[in-house]
């Protein structure tokens, strides 16, 4: 039988997570029942929301209990299928991948991934949750007009990097907020006009004002905290904030 080393939550982190918070255990390869798929894991996504799931505190996403197998977004190859909608050999993505080489996911959660236009892992990034978050938060929620200034925090992150590119394509004026000069340089390569390093800034309100001389029309808030406060103090009348 194939080995199936699995990442299990051993303890809740008190601050920054460390490897000591997990244990790697050999578990049997599961079998797919009706309505399930046994998949070989090819890609896993580690997303910011998962930090809230490894805490005993109440969160918008259900938390893991100690001893639970870690779960998250993933892409894999179907090995066996308990659903007529899927067959072995197909590549699928689901938000319920166990952190293990072979895992079972609900067929109802799975979507077929095509690789004709993009690599399969794109289903976890710009063609997946981060990309959809960027697209809908900017275009459907904020509804910006051409030429408006869009300030985006965590601009080099999974959502921010995509939101900035969409903003540039749509004729907007994207401004990045990130934590290092290297990240800001990369953001400019993506199409951001200007940027603010929130870690080295002595006055975030003033630095945001300098980067956004016409004020902020749209703020895509991926972080909250002092960056949010600085954006609010530079927000134009009828400005929109997406959190």
Tokens 């910011």 appear where? 48
% the chain with pLDDT above 90: 93
- Cα–Cα distance measured from residue 141 to residue 144, given in angstroms and rounded to the nearest whole number: 9
Structure confidence at residue 70 as a pLDDT band (50, 70, 90): very high
Q: Say whether pLDDT at 2 is over 90.
A: no
Structure confidence at residue 62 as a pLDDT band (50, 70, 90): confident
3-class DSSP state of 80: strand
Structure confidence at residue 235 as a pLDDT band (50, 70, 90): very high
| DSSP letter string, 176-217 | EEESSHHHHHHHHHHT-SEEEETTT-S-HHHHHHHH-TT-EE
Domain ranges of the chain: 5-120, 129-242
Q: Span 5-120: which CATH code?
A: 3.90.180.10
Question: What pLDDT score was predicted for residue 1?
Answer: 54
Which tens digits make up the pLDDT trace of 91-150? 999 999 999 999 999 999 999 999 999 999 999 999 999 999 999 999 999 999 999 999
Structure confidence at residue 60 as a pLDDT band (50, 70, 90): confident
Exposure on the CB side of residue 52, measured as CA atoms within 13 A: 8
The answer to whether 152 touches 174, Cβ cutoff 8 Å, is yes
Which tens digits make up the pLDDT trace of 167-214? 999 999 999 999 999 999 999 999 999 999 999 999 999 999 999 999
Question: What pLDDT score was predicted for residue 3?
Answer: 85
Structure tokens at 125: 């990034």
Burial of 139 (0-12, 13-18, 19+ CB in 10 A): middle
Sort strands 102-106 and 173-178 into parallel, antiparallel or unpaired. unpaired
Choices 3.30.930.10, 3.40.50.720, 3.40.1050.10, 3.30.70.260: CATH for 129-242: 3.40.50.720
Average pLDDT, the chain: 96
- Cα–Cα distance measured from residue 72 to residue 64, given in angstroms and rounded to the nearest whole number: 11
- Residue 135: CB atoms within 10 A of its CB come to 16
Question: What pLDDT score was predicted for residue 57?
Answer: 86
Q: Per-residue pLDDT averaged across 20-49, rounded?
A: 95
Say if 5-120 and 129-242 have the same CATH topology.
Answer: no
% the chain with pLDDT above 70: 100
């Amino acid at each position: 039988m194939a080995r199936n080393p699995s990442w299990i939550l051993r303890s809740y982190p008190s601050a920054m997570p460390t490897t000591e918070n997990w244990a790697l255990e050999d578990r049997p390869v599961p079998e797919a029942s009706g309505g399930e798929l046994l998949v070989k894991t090819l890609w896993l996504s580690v997303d910011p929301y998962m930090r809230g799931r490894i805490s005993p505190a109440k969160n918008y996403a259900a938390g893991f209990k100690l001893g639970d197998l870690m779960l998250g977004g993933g892409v894999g190859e179907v090995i066996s299928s308990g659903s007529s909608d899927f067959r072995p050999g197909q590549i699928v993505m689901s938000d319920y991948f166990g952190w293990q080489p072979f895992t079972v996911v609900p067929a109802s959660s799975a979507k077929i991934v095509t690789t004709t236009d993009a690599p399969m892992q794109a289903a976890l990034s710009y063609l997946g949750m981060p990309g959809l978050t960027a697209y809908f938060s900017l275009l459907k929620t904020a509804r910006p007009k051409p030429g408006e200034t869009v300030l985006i925090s965590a601009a080099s992150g999974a959502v921010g990097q995509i939101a900035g590119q969409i903003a540039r394509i749509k004729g907007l004026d994207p401004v990045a907020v990130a934590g290092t000069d290297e990240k800001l340089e990369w953001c400019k390569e993506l199409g951001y006009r200007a940027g603010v390093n929130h870690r080295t800034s002595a006055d975030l309100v003033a630095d945001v004002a300098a980067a956004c001389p016409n004020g902020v029309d749209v703020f895509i808030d991926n972080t909250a905290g002092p960056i949010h406060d600085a954006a609010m103090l530079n927000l134009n009348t009828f400005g929109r904030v997406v959190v």
